[in-house]
């Protein structure tokens, strides 16, 4: 009776965030939404930390430069993810169009 319980526990571990991160690293083109959301939250924490550091250092230009660089990096990552999603949608549409045209012939 202990075997089914162990199997259920192993299956529940497969759906975790750590597994999503490992799968996104090992599988080309696969990035689960949870990994992207975690990355966004990490960027928000970075912005908050740099903003507090900027206030604590009375507007140090080096900290301001780091904040600007991190914002630019965040925007470029968001743009890249958006472009990847657009490509996935276009590829899915092309595949469905090819399937429909294949059925007609």
Query: Which pLDDT does position 9 carry in this prediction?
Result: 46
Residue 14: its pLDDT value, please?
A: 58
Q: 30 Cβ partners below 8 Å, 6+ apart?
A: 23, 24
Provide the residue ranges of all domains of the chain, joining segments of one domain with +: 31-104
Asked if 43 and 70 count as a contact pair (C-beta separation under 8 A), the reply is yes
The mean pLDDT of 19-23, rounded to a whole number, is: 83
| Model confidence pLDDT, tens digit, residues 40-85 | 999 999 999 999 999 999 999 999 999 999 999 999 999 999 998 8
- Rounded distance, CA 1 to CA 9, Å? 13
Instruction: List, as one string, the DSSP characters of 46-67.
Output: HHHHHHHHHHHTTS-HHHHHHH
More confident residue, 25 or 85: 85
Q: Is 24 within 8 Å of 32 (Cβ atoms)?
A: yes
Query: What pLDDT is stored for residue 19 in this prediction?
Result: 85
What rounded mean pLDDT belongs to the chain? 84
The residue among 32, 46, 34 whose CA lies nearest residue 84 is: 32
Task: Say which residues have a Cβ less than 8 Å from residue 77's Cβ, sequence separation at least 6.
Answer: 39, 43
């Amino acid at each position: 009776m202990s075997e089914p319980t162990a199997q259920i526990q192993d299956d529940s571990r497969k759906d975790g965030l750590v597994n999503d991160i490992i799968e996104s690293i090992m599988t080309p083109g696969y990035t689960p939404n949870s990994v992207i959301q975690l990355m966004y939250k990490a960027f928000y924490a970075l912005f908050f930390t740099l903003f507090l550091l900027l206030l604590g250092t009375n507007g140090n230009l080096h900290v301001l430069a780091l904040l600007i660089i991190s914002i630019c990096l965040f925007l470029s990552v968001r743009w890249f993810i958006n472009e990847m999603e657009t490509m996935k949608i276009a590829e899915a549409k092309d595949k469905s169009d090819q399937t429909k045209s294949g059925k007609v012939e």
